[in-house]
Amino acid sequence: MNPYKKMMIGAIFMFDFNLGSFDVLPDIVAYALFFFGLSELMKENEHYQKARMYTIPLMILSVLELFGFGVNVQVVSFTDVDVLVWAVIIFGVVMGILFMYNLLFGVQEEAKRQEIIQIDDQASLVWKLFLASQVMILVTFMLPIIFVVAFIINLIQFILLIKLMNDASLKLRIDSDGVVL
């Protein structure tokens, strides 16, 4: 089978489709198909070699997820997980971004080499959309921590306001009618 066809089928398995807690399209299958497709293409360019390398940790994370040890970034918030789970989530997101970057830039490199501009443009668009979605997922994931930071800044601002008013009451002179001198 054409290695790009293998990766096309792998891309279908990347779609999260669950029935309850059962993953109908397990990611392990997706990354295995990408691994085998990229194994056939890795001599073509360095990006394919790197993308193949990133499928390995992604397969391991997928196996962990199948056995209930994974965490779906889209359904947790920072306050719901401990530091180790947070680190695993960030690791998985970074590996996913590096994988997609190298996969898509590998496709772009091949498309440019073969002068197929449409494929080059498509790979560029997919990369931009993927990266935007990952940033949005991370921002959404981190909203509770952003809220905590905003609360702390607001608390500091409130304390400084109290201090300012106290210092002003001690240092700014006013007359008996309350007018600043």
Question: By residue range, what is the domain housing residue 25?
Answer: 3-144
48-101 pLDDT, tens per residue?
Answer: 999 999 999 999 999 888 776 655 544 444 555 567 777 887 898 899 999 999
pLDDT at 139: 76
144-179 pLDDT, tens per residue?
Answer: 777 677 678 768 876 867 777 776 666 655 556 655
pLDDT at 95: 94
Higher-confidence position of 180 and 119: 119
What percentage of the chain carries pLDDT values higher than 70?
76
For residues 144-162, one letter each, b for 16 or more C-beta atoms within 10 angstroms of the residue's C-beta and e for the rest, the string is eeeeeeeeeeeeeeeeeee
- Structural domain tally of the chain? 1
Q: Is residue 160 part of a domain?
A: no
Q: Is residue 62 part of a domain?
A: yes
Q: Is residue 164 part of a domain?
A: no
Average pLDDT of the chain is: 80
Q: Is residue 176 part of a domain?
A: no
Instruction: Give dist(CA 26, CA 13) in Å, integer.
Output: 6
Q: Is residue 59 part of a domain?
A: yes
Q: Is residue 12 part of a domain?
A: yes
Q: Is residue 149 part of a domain?
A: no
Q: Is residue 93 part of a domain?
A: yes
